């Protein structure tokens, strides 16, 4: 009799814990990247891959008169190639 009661309490506790975990997961807001680093620098989004990077860690170049910031040289080079390809197809 006591064993059944303990098992029922254990099952009820597990169900309660599971429900609370699911509720907490569903309430969690979407994680947004920080607007500034711990040092107070602005975070900029790479236009090619979408990664956020601080201004001091970024690779930059001017494309069509607009300063663009990239997370890596590879993203920068691929973006420049994509812009050149888009320009060729428009011509």
The C-alpha atoms of residue 25 and residue 29 are separated, in whole angstroms, by 9
Where is pLDDT greater, at 38 or 66?
66
Q: How many other β-carbons are positioned within 10 Å of the β-carbon of residue 75? A: 21
- pLDDT for the residue 17: 94
Instruction: Name residue 59's beta-bridge partners.
Output: 70
Q: Is 18:25 a contact under the CB 8 Å cutoff?
A: no
Higher pLDDT pick, 54 / 90: 54
Predicted structure pTM score: 0.55
Question: Tokens 């973006």 label which residue?
Answer: 79
Q: What length is written for the chain?
A: 91
Instruction: State the sign of the Cα–Cα–Cα–Cα dihedral 41, 72, 69, 51.
Output: negative
Query: Residue 33's pLDDT is what?
Result: 61
Q: Which whole number is the average pLDDT over 29-51?
A: 76
Beta carbons of 43 and 53 less than 8 angstroms apart: yes
């Amino acid at each position: 009799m006591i064993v059944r009661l303990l098992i029922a309490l254990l099952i009820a506790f597990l169900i309660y814990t599971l429900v609370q975990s699911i509720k907490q997961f569903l309430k969690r807001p979407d994680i947004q990247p920080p607007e500034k680093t711990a040092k107070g620098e602005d975070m900029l989004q790479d236009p090619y891959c979408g990664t956020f990077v601080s201004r001091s860690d970024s690779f930059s170049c001017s494309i069509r008169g607009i300063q663009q910031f990239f997370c890596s040289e590879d993203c920068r080079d691929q973006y420049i190639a994509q812009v050149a390809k888009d320009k060729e197809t428009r011509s």
